[in-house]
């Protein structure tokens, strides 16, 4: 018997417990342990029924995802789970799967091979493999339609969303909810069914004919919309479709083929990288997990504009009472109207109840004074971007806030240390940089100032989690991680239109690359006034003689702020749909002519390479300077703050995938054409390309060094 899987006897029922913390993944030893435990129980004449249950917090969260990377890099694949599942299904004694926590991926596949499933009320079941760029690989696409019906199986396998216990029962995935003690309930259930012939999922055909072919077509269209560019959802649909046409055995063979294709794709590499990157991000080498955290009971937000309103909602959503302060009644009313509108639209979508909306609104106190700020445990500042104003506000709140109160700025670019310098508590000052819309985007850059205390960082990480955000630690340099890298990316997009590409071509090339929108469309969405304000703050740092984009300031001066004014790089109708703007095109042409820029045909490949490699090159500097702890942290920032295509794993993994030698060669070409100041390659990139390294490898080395 394996240590990972153990059996206890409860009278005539054998209970097999899986103990592979933290999530009972089916790593080495677990399937083998289940197999031998089932075989032993089957052979034991005193056993009439078998219960399989997860020890700890969950049933089985799936295959061990770490194994996939090893297989792809050439390690011999472990034995498929399929024979084990057949053995479970063919066991002559009834096997009851007792599910709590999550039965995901291979976990649900194991569960479906049992003859019955009982489930705890809060448990979830699902086939989330597509989120990793793969599909179920142990007959999930074949057994799930037999239990839940074809339409639901297509949905669950193609989109990866789990279902809760009540729905699992009504769909037929589980047989019964056990309200109290799951093991006791499972044992009782096993005794109830022990005398009946045990149903085998693979032999059930009654639900396979319950959907017409339109189900698959609709799912494909939906996948192309919500998982644009991804291959796994389409493969998952095909595999479920195979279940309706082929025998169980042939369906499994087709699933295996499709699984293999997905596993050996760069897409699964990207998505698996993103999964682990998101989990690595909270690990800060000098801020250990047991660092004490402050309790955040009350909060205050200054500014109820675009960002302040969303930040206020984040606190209310986390159940934290929050004051929001503005300077004028109009601005306050506008901010509160935005908050109400946002909540109302969530209620309309059915994602929030009216009562919950009222509860959250009741946590928000809008006002124009600092009354009550002395009780706040954290004050978040979101006033206009400008050092003078930020210093004034921090000076004011430092005088009012209680000792121990954290002061967080939402500044996009400004120096946190300079802001902290006007306070008597620099150790409690840091950046909390949210992304627009702040109540929606999951990224939060937590910007560490020179004096920021570790407790404040740990508290911020915990707060991010409480807000359902992903906190990424960033060093204090202009633009931190995300916006600093965005600078060269947006610069190249603008240079390309000056050199001859149209606005639509530039936006289209990056949209086709997988970005949620092109760079100029993003500028129009964020507001060209926002960029103008930031540029004004740093004009004095521009190096004379170095090329700068020409049109953005002119568009701002013409009152063309983007979507909010109906005109920016593009024209917008009342539904905010863009169209070509001949006026912008003429302006760009004129400015290029005046500057002596030669207009030429620009290829799609050049657009993508110049924009994305500009991002990567700056990313390498951010990494070398320690502004980001890991290349994978940069990827998390870009995936969650800038809608970089998840299946490419982020800009740094994309560079690894292309090959750093190739990336460097391309950057050298751009340097030859556009000059040293714009395109000098980052020393770290040169070093890694020179020694055959990767950013992923660099992360591993840094991790080892930090641990040493
Ligand atoms: N394999 C390996 N490690 C896993 C894992 C898995 N399937 N699932 C979670 N982990 C690890 C995490 O990396 C993390 O490790 P760390 O502490 O070292 O960072 C730890 O377990 C805890 O995970 P979370 O921080 O995510 O814990 P939560 O409680 O927030 O969430 C969860 C738990 C809902 C199970 C979530 O981890 C999850 O969604 N996991 C992935 C589930 C999944 O995708 N399963 C399918 C795998 S593919 C498969 O089964 C193929 C099959 O068809 C053959
Ligand atoms: P905004 O212009 O929409 O809102 C700023 C608000 O602050 C205004 O409503 C103004 O009345 C208020 N305000 C100014 N001085 C104040 C004071 N002394 N007390 C109380 N309220 C005051 O600006 P936005 O876009 O919300 O930006 C705020 C901050 O967030 C800036 O630092 C910006 O750089 C940053 N940021 C902006 C993002 C964006 O996409 N708009 C994204 C991330 C950060």
> Model confidence over 670-683: pLDDT tens digits?
999 999 999 999 99
- What pLDDT is attached to residue 1? 45
Check residues 77 and 559 and name the one with the higher pLDDT. 559
CB 79 within 8 A of CB 31: yes
pLDDT at residue 541 greater than cutoff 90: no
CB 422 within 8 A of CB 448: no
- What pLDDT is attached to residue 72? 84
109 is catalytic: yes
Helix (H) or strand (E) holding 438: none
CA of 162 to the centre of ligand 1 (A): 14
Q: What angle do the packed helices 631-641 and 695-707 form, to 10 degrees?
A: 120
| Longest CA span, the chain | 93
What CA–CA distance (Å, rounded) separates 127 from 31? 18
Q: What is the mean pLDDT of residues 378-385?
A: 96
What CA–CA distance (Å, rounded) separates 119 from 98? 6
Q: Which of 109, 445, 537, 606 is catalytic?
A: 109
Task: Report the 10 Å Cβ neighbour count for 431.
Answer: 27
Instruction: Give percent above pLDDT 70 in the chain.
Output: 100
Listed in order, strand segments (DSSP E) in 210-350 are: 299-302, 322-325
CB 240 within 8 A of CB 150: yes
The predicted model scores a pTM of 0.95
- What pLDDT is attached to residue 531? 87
pLDDT at residue 75 greater than cutoff 90: no
Q: Give every strand in the sheet of 364-367, ordered side by side.
A: 364-367, 322-325, 299-302, 378-381, 406-409, 429-434, 443-448, 470-475
Listed in order, strand segments (DSSP E) in 501-624 are: 571-572, 578-579
Mean pLDDT of the residues in the chain:
96
pLDDT at residue 186 greater than cutoff 50: yes
pLDDT in tens, 2-40: 589 999 999 999 999 999 999 999 999 999 999 999 999
Task: Report the 10 Å Cβ neighbour count for 62.
Answer: 26
Cα 33 vs. chain centroid, distance in angstroms? 34
pLDDT in tens, 446-490: 999 999 999 999 999 999 999 999 999 999 999 999 999 999 999
Q: What is the mean pLDDT of residues 547-556?
A: 95
Least confident segment among 88-97, 360-369, 542-551, 619-628: 542-551
pLDDT at residue 405 greater than cutoff 70: yes
- Which tokens hold the place of 507? 């936006």
What CA–CA distance (Å, rounded) separates 86 from 79? 14
Those residues with Cβ within 8 angstroms of residue 330's Cβ, 6 or more apart along the chain or in another chain: none
Task: Report the 10 Å Cβ neighbour count for 613.
Answer: 28
pLDDT at residue 211 greater than cutoff 80: no
- What pLDDT is attached to residue 27? 94
Half-sphere exposure of residue 397: CA atoms within 13 angstroms, side-chain side: 33
DSSP secondary structure, 114-148, as one string: SSEEEE-TT-EEE-GGGGGT----SSHHHHHHHHH
Is the distance from the beta carbon of residue 392 to the nearest atom of ligand 2 less than 6 Å?
no
Q: What is the mean pLDDT of residues 527-536?
A: 87
Q: What is the mean pLDDT of residues 369-391?
A: 96
CA of 25 to the centre of ligand 1 (A): 7
| Mutation test residue for ligand 2: of 332, 384, 412, 487, the one with most atoms within 8 Å of CB | 384
pLDDT at residue 176 greater than cutoff 70: yes
CA of 411 to the centre of ligand 2 (A): 9
Is the distance from the beta carbon of residue 302 to the nearest atom of ligand 2 less than 6 Å?
yes
Q: Are strands 299-302 and 124-126 parallel, antiparallel or unpaired?
A: unpaired
């Amino acid at each position: 018997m394996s240590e990972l899987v153990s059996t206890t006897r409860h009278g005539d029922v054998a209970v097999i417990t899986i103990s592979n913390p933290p999530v009972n993944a089916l790593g080495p030893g677990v399937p083998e342990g289940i197999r031998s435990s089932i075989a032993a129980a089957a052979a034991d004449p005193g056993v009439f029924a078998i219960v399989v249950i997860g020890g700890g917090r969950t049933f089985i969260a799936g295959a061990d995802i770490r194994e996939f990377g090893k297989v792809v890099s050439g390690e011999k694949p472990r034995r498929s789970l399929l024979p084990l599942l057949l053995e479970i299904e063919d066991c002559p004694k009834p096997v009851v799967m007792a599910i709590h926590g999550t039965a995901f991926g291979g976990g649900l596949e194991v569960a479906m091979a049992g003859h019955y499933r009982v489930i705890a009320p809060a448990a979830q079941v699902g086939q989330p493999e597509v989120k990793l760029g793969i599909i179920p690989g142990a007959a999930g696409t074949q057994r799930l339609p037999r239990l839940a019906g074809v339409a639901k199986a297509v949905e669950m396998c193609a989109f990866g969303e789990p279902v809760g216990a009540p729905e699992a029962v009504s769909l037929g995935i589980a047989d019964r909810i056990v309200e109290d003690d799951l093991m006791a309930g499972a044992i009782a259930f096993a005794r109830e069914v022990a005398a009946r012939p045990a149903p085998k999922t693979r032999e059930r055909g009654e639900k396979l004919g319950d959907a017409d072919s339109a189900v698959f077509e609709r799912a494909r269209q939906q996948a192309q919309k919500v998982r644009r560019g991804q291959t796994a959802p389409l493969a998952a649909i095909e595999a479920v479709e195979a279940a309706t046409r082929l025998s169980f055995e042939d369906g499994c063979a087709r699933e295996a083929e499709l699984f293999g294709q997905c596993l050996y794709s760069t897409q699964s590499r990207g998505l698996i990288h993103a999964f682990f990157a998101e989990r690595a991000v909270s690990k800060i080498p000098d801020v250990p997990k047991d660092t004490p955290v402050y309790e955040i009971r009350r909060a205050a937000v200054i500014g109820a504009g675009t960002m302040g309103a969303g930040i206020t909602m984040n606190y209310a959503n986390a159940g934290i009472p929050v004051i929001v302060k503005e300077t004028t009644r109009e601005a306050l009313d506008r901010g509160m109207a935005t908050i109400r509108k946002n909540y109302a639209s969530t209620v309309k979508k059915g994602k929030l109840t009216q009562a919950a909306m009222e509860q959250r609104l009741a946590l928000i106190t809008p006002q124009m004074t600092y009354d009550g700020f002395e009780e706040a445990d954290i004050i978040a500042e979101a006033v206009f971007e400008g050092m003078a104003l930020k210093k004034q506000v921090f000076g004011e709140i430092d005088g009012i806030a209680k000792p121990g109160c954290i002061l967080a700025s939402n500044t996009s670019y400004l120096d946190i240390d300079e802001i902290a310098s006007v306070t008597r508590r620099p150790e409690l000052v840091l950046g909390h940089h949210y992304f627009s819309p702040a109540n929606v985007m999951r990224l939060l850059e937590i910007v560490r100032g020179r004096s920021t205390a570790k407790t404040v960082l740990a508290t911020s990480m915990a707060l991010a989690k409480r807000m359902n955000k992903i906190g990424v630690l960033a060093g204090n340099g202009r633009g931190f991680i995300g916006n600093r890298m965005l600078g060269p990316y947006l610069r190249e997009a603008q240079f390309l239109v000056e050199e001859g590409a149209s606005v639509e071509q530039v936006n289209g090339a990056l949209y086709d690359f997988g970005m949620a929108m092109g760079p100029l469309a993003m500028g129009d969405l964020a507001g060209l006034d926002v960029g103008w304000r930031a540029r004004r703050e740093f004009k004095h740092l521009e190096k004379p003689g170095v090329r700068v984009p020409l049109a953005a300031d002119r568009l701002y001066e013409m009152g063309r702020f983007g979507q909010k004014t109906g005109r920016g790089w593009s024209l917008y109708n009342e539904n905010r749909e863009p169209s070509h703007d001949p006026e912008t095109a003429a302006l760009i042409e004129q400015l290029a002519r005046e500057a002596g820029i030669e207009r030429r045909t620009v290829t799609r490949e050049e657009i993508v390479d110049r924009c994305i490699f500009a991002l990567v090159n700056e990313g390498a500097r951010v990494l070398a300077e320690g502004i980001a702890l890991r290349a994978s942290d940069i990827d998390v920032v870009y995936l969650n703050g800038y809608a970089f295509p998840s299946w490419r794993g982020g800009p740094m993994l994309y560079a690894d995938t292309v090959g750093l030698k190739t990336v460097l060669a391309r950057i050298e070409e751009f340097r030859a054409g556009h000059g040293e100041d714009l395109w000098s390659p980052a020393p770290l990139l040169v070093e890694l390309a020179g020694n055959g390294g990767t950013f992923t490898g660099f992360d591993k080395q840094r991790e080892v060094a930090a641990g040493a």
